[in-house]
Amino acid sequence: MNSARELFWTQQEVYILKVFLPIIIGVLIFSSVLVLLFALGFFRRYLLWRRGHKENRFDRVVARLNTTLAVAFAHYRVFKEAYPGIMHFLVVWGAIFLVSGKIVRLFSYVVGLTIPPQAVFLYASFVSEIGGLMIIIGGIIAIIRRYIVRPPRLDNKPDDALVFLWVFVVLVTGYLTKGYRIAASDVGSPTDWFLWSPVGYYLSKILPTFLTEHKNEILVWHRAIIHTVPAFVLLAYVFISRTRLQHIWLSPLNVFFRSLKSKGALEPIDLETAESWGAAKIEDFTWKQLLDLDACTRCGRCQDNCPAHLSGKKLSPKKLVLDLKDNLYEVFPIPFVLKPKEPRRDMLTEVITEEVIWDCTTCRACMEACPVYIEHINKVIDMRRNLVLEKASITETGEAALKCIEARGHSCRGTTLTRTDWASGLDIKPLSEDSNVDLVYFVGCAASLEERSTKIAIAFAKILKAAGVKVGILGIEETCCGEPARRLGNEYLFQMQATKNIELLKNYNAKRIVATCPHCFNTLKNEYPQFGGEFEVVHHTELIVQLLKEHKIRPGCMNGEKLVYHDSCYLGRHNDIYEQPRDILRSISSKKLLEMGRSRNSGFCCGGGGGRYWMEEKVGKRISEMRIEQVMETGTNVVATACPYCLQMFVDAIKAKGAEETLKALDVAELLATQLESGR
């Protein structure tokens, strides 16, 4: 066969009038119906999302489009896991090739692109053929994974099997149609359709063996099959709108409306105008939070990375989203079809339990893993806000921490230290005595008031002194940054603390601030600007790396110690600081820095974030001990941290594991400070 072959049968025009033209008209009618049904379905969802509060997610359109395209077509996040990433890539791009080829072929008949010298029809046939094969391969991988490998995070539902069946029927119908057409047009003559449509070609050689009157019967079968295609197109709407395939359009939409603000910042409450604080009912969430619920694909990546879930707690980020979605459709079902479920379930006690709400460490592992940018943390915090501010419901130890902040300006109950004891003999003065400094050190509650963590502040002060950097502290005027209060749901107390510190720092004309605590760092850098606190804020690891590059400090090298670094959630996932702590450790170690399996943006939480540092772990395994077990698997002598809360959690976990003789937990500043003398 060459590119000049007649398509279909000898009387091409007659065939187009009798068969092809009705098919085109039918497809157009069906397509119009589908567009109308889709528009109605989208409008219903739009009305549903509007039940939520207003939120501006229409800024920076170009940036939103870029990420949406990267996620939808380059599978930027899906490929974080190779096996499902390959499967999804094959299915998505296979569908793109298949549909594109079909559309080009459909209109090539009308505009005459099948006549020489154009070969658009042939190329389109090849592209759609390859697309179909990609879908088949991807589908086989998906079936093996879902029904044979069966990872625990996947929950199989009947509609999942129906999706596979529908895709199978559509593909088989398409290949049979092509096979019958090739057989009818090329019976008894040599052909090179093998190059342009290998699957259709092989089917064309098999199908005639089952027929007696080849050409006539092939004509009948071809027409019968090709007329079923519009019916399958109509079924597509049913599946796409009622099954997990709805993520074909919901996921890109959710990615487009993702948050472009600082990852570590929570949304503030306008305490003066808010009618209610936090979320007690499903309609108390924002419209984007409701869109999140619809966009969930049930892939389970979030719960596979959630330390609370992996340690046996009640929280599953996946289940949390799906339970909220069920509640959304219970309260606001399909208009004129279903009635709201009565009596209405209480969202904070029956839909989502308080235990689940308090299990979260706000580590952001779920959000980092989610391929469609669902935002779990803000939902948890909104529910905590309502529990604390309107219902006064919080764990006993969490309440004690909040009361301590409110009464004493810090979260360290029972401490006998003052905020300046650690600085004794270090030639560091409060700004009230000397405000002519290079930068302000916001020490934080832990590093100034917890005995173990004060060693971090002391080590950092020695490093600054060795580098010739003059630093000042707020001293007894410093008060808690408010981060624990905000993560525990007491937005009112947080804003009080933030206002105090912002006014104080502005009074001293502070320009550049350094913090050794990632929680303080994140709060001052990303959340204080919400209340007018615009300062340059750096973490101590960032500053130390700068001093090393400028050769203002020259540390010696450790011998024999094997180091592994633990990524603090609020330094890493919330602020993308991964390399600076590692650069510091490489500068003082003669051995290669070890890495844990869960590290960087896939790191495992210490268990102390989200206010959990002040709460007891009564259910499941201790998250900190799980992390120390991961540390011990590397064979290291020292686990380095860059967060006082991580450090204290690990000190306790090492003691609980009986590994005090073989494993130490130290801050990167402590490790560097011990090498300064040897480096001189």
Pick the most confident of 124-133, 248-257, 643-652. 643-652
The encoded tokens of residue 399 equal 């309440």
Identify the structural domains of the chain with CATH numbers, from first to last.
Answer: 12-24+72-234 (no CATH), 278-389 (1.10.1060), 411-549 (3.40.50.1860), 563-676 (3.40.50)
Is the pLDDT at 245 greater than 90? The verdict is: no
Is the pLDDT at 539 greater than 90? The verdict is: yes
The per-residue pLDDT for 24 is: 65
Q: Are 167 and 239 in contact (CB under 8 A)?
A: no
Distance between CA atoms of 515 and 499, rounded to whole angstroms? 18
Per-residue pLDDT band at 190 (split at 50, 70, 90): very low
Distance between CA atoms of 374 and 403, rounded to whole angstroms? 33
Distance between CA atoms of 108 and 207, rounded to whole angstroms? 26
Q: Are 422 and 448 in contact (CB under 8 A)?
A: yes
Is the pLDDT at 3 greater than 70? The verdict is: no
The encoded tokens of residue 114 equal 């099948």
Sheet holding 563-565, edge to edge: 563-565, 638-641, 664-667
**Residue 71 CB neighbours (<10 A):** 21
Question: Among 280-289, 338-347, 631-640, where is mean pLDDT lowest?
Answer: 338-347
Is the pLDDT at 9 greater than 50? The verdict is: no
Distance of CA 331 to the CA centre of its chain: 27
Predicted confidence (pLDDT) per residue in 462-472, tens digit? 999 999 999 99
Q: For residues 241-252, give the mean pLDDT.
A: 77
Following DSSP, what letter does each residue of 579-591 receive, concatenated? Answer: HHHHHHHHHHBSS
The pTM assigned to this predicted structure is 0.87
Pick the most confident of 110-114, 123-127, 430-434, 555-559. 430-434
Q: For residues 486-493, give the mean pLDDT.
A: 98
